[in-house]
Amino acid sequence: VGDSKDYDSEVESICPFCGVGCQVSLKVKDGRVKYVEGINGPANEGRLCVKGRFGFDYIHHDHRLTKPLIRREDAPAKGLNVDPGDWSTHFREASWEEALDFAANGLKGRGREVAGFGSAKCTNEEAYLFQKMIRQGFGHNNVDHCTRLCHASSVAALMENVGSGAVTATFNEIENADVAIAIGCNPIENHPVAATYFKQFTKRGGKLIVMDPRGQALKRFASHMLQFRPGADVSMLNAIMHVIVEEGLYDQQYIDAYTENWDAEKAHLEGFAPEKMAEICGIEAEVLRDVARTFAGAKSAMIFWGMGVSQHIHGTDNSRCLISLALMTGQVGRPGAGLHPLRGQNNVQGASDAGLIPMFLPDYQTVTDDGVRSAFTDVWGSGDFSNEKGLTVTEIMDDVHAGNIKAMYILGENPAMSDPDVEHARDALAKLDHLVVQDIFITETANYADVILPASAFAEKTGTVTNTNRQVQMGRPAVPPPGEAKEDWWIEVELAKRLGLGWEYQSPADVFAEMKLNMKSLDNITWARLEGQNAVTYPSLSPEDPGQAIVFGDGFPRPEGRARFTPASVIAPDDVPDAEYPMILTTGRQLEHWHTGSMTRRATVLDAVEPEANCSLHPSTLRKLGAVPGDMVRLTTKRGSIEIMAREDRAVSPDMVFLPFAYVEAAANILTNPAVDPYGKIPEFKFSAVRVEAVAGA
Ligand code: SF4
């Protein structure tokens, strides 16, 4: 941290990493961001984690793209073979005019042959423009983004049973709770500033029930730590609810007033006595009973969950259980009560709200509804588009292999690293006859591009983002983009003009004004308000209302205002261990690294702290392998194999490997299973059968 006077200017913006959405002050000296401080945003109250405080200097990295690039005619065959610091053998520099014409000409008039991936790293306005371009320009809904890989199943369950895909209460509401469950999330590493509120909650006597197949740092603060067997979520949660029913601990008054389908849920739970489920989930029956009594006995209780819940083929069922647990105990819609899926990327909530998903237009209005589509085409001044739900991220890659999709526009996403069974995705990208990539670096995906459009990092752009708390916040530019790089909204508008869409936006504020026409969630939230106040939570009930931290106190946005119980049955993971692949692989993030590593591995401090690809194994597993920490091991699944340095970690059970996914040199997704949840279409990143071997001579 620098001397507080040692800067030329300071600009308030939003941290670009996780969904907590910490507000930051960027201190600029000589045209560069010199250091960052936390400011008093509603989610962070001045706090920052290591990524927010020290992870910003990737924006000044030598690898930044400064000019549009077009693939050379004599470039080597498409593959993962471009040096991001020296791309001259594969690409040549082009003017914006030439690059935009080239990008548009390869897409124009191709309708169903084109698909698009937008980004949860971009602003709400940029996400809105992206989905509009695919729908208006190509007439279909084959547009998606990384929500498909993180919380799509949570959103599916919330939409189905609560009527809204967002959180019912901010995470800060934990200060009003007396009990909280944190399941399938690791907030100390993945939502570190939110975790500080969790720790404070326990310091003042709150009971924290942590449930996760992997031990974790939050365990130290927990009243109960349930390290259950991977994939046994539904058995465990149904057993807890069984006790609540059996012992009459549910809130009948709340159930009668605000819910439906209770009798079916109650009958379904009969078969899940803890004594029957204990062995399946690896948790003693008495512990399950104690957790049930603790949760049901709370005055106010919250449930937090992460991708340990969502990234399963039964991810929607996992979330259905959590929703049922909150409903049967009346723990929604009051201070200190609620459901909170901790969103991953800084703007995955906002990008989803803005319609960057194949089944919904902005504000989760379904594409199958004629009235909804015509409300949008009226505003857009264009003809109708398909009433069929579009393809998801993984389905789009399958459709490329099937020869139906031949061109793609990918903005800020990196499927060559983030898709499950990633060689399948890389092969698909290589097959495309026209790939437009818009990004700030030559990512692994940009290796396959025909044209690369150099874009802006968070500190170089204007626009709003929406965090896990439903807080719409204003991002501001502190420095200009490097070289000829441009803000993403500008690039989208120029491309749309060349596609004949006649867009005339002059600024992100123009786009935001258009979004408000068909997004009731933005009622009472104006650009001017956001410029003045930095953040407003939706829904905001009046121009003066800072927004509702808690929703659904008086009913739900569903028929008759009632939430629904949807009973969840047990579905086994898709790829179960056997003699050949006897262990379980689970993937996730580390504190220092962010997703596919394109930003944090170029951030000096973060890369210095965590420079090398690694996996975590229990000490007894290492002993069995004849290996010691630091040795190389080989991980093999039915999809592929990688070699990687092993770490010793007692938090990982002896039958499990934990593998971070930020490292291209040992890409986790070479190994992961593409099987998806049938509702959210999210891949089962959290469970694959794997074989672990010591590497001879390592
Ligand atoms: Fe950024 Fe998330 Fe850390 Fe806050 S908690 S500083 S938003 S990475």
pLDDT tens by residue, 332-362: 999 999 999 999 889 999 999 999 999 999 9
The span from the CA of 569 to the CA of 235, in Å, is: 8
The reported pLDDT for the residue numbered 246 is 98
The reported pLDDT for the residue numbered 547 is 97
Distance 425 CA to ligand 1 centre (A): 29
**Per-residue tokens: 618:** 């229990």
Among candidate residues 183, 187, 198, 186, the one with its CA nearest the CA of residue 236? 183
Percent of the chain with pLDDT over 70: 99
Is the CB of residue 15 below 6 angstroms from any atom belonging to ligand 1?
yes
Kindly report the average pLDDT of the chain as a whole number: 96
Distance 172 CA to ligand 1 centre (A): 14
Site to probe by mutation for ligand 1, drawn from 48, 188, 198, 605 as the one with most ligand atoms within 8 Å of Cβ, is 48
Give me the phi and psi of 143, to 5 degrees please: -140, 135
Distance 18 CA to ligand 1 centre (A): 5
Mean pLDDT of 186-198: 96
Distance 36 CA to ligand 1 centre (A): 12
The reported pLDDT for the residue numbered 698 is 59
**Per-residue tokens: 443:** 């990512």
Mean pLDDT of 65-93: 97
Distance 50 CA to ligand 1 centre (A): 8
The span from the CA of 123 to the CA of 112, in Å, is: 26
Distance 15 CA to ligand 1 centre (A): 6
Site to probe by mutation for ligand 1, drawn from 14, 35, 49 as the one with most ligand atoms within 8 Å of Cβ, is 49
pLDDT classification of 19: cutoffs 50, 70, 90: very high
Nearest ligand 1 atom to the CA of 44 is 4
Quick check: 51 and 18 in contact, CB under 8 A? yes
Q: Per mean pLDDT, which range of 94-108, 141-155, 405-419, 559-573 is the poorest?
A: 141-155
Mean pLDDT of 223-236: 97
Is the CB of residue 171 below 6 angstroms from any atom belonging to ligand 1?
no
Among candidate residues 9, 55, 62, the one with its CA nearest the CA of residue 31? 9
Mean pLDDT of 629-647: 97
Q: What is this structure's pTM?
A: 0.96
- pLDDT tens, 305-333? 999 999 999 999 999 999 999 999 999 99
Quick check: 101 and 499 in contact, CB under 8 A? no
Is the CB of residue 49 below 6 angstroms from any atom belonging to ligand 1?
yes
Distance 26 CA to ligand 1 centre (A): 14
* Total residues found in the chain within this entry: 698
The reported pLDDT for the residue numbered 501 is 97
The reported pLDDT for the residue numbered 4 is 55
Quick check: 412 and 118 in contact, CB under 8 A? yes
**Per-residue tokens: 187:** 């907030």
Burial 430-465 (b: 16+ CB within 10 A, else e): bbbebbbbbbbbbbbbbbbbbbbbbbbbbbbbbbbb
Put residue 109 in one of left, alpha, beta given phi > 0 → left and psi -120 to 50 → alpha.
Answer: left
Here the ipTM equals 1.00
Is the CB of residue 193 below 6 angstroms from any atom belonging to ligand 1?
yes
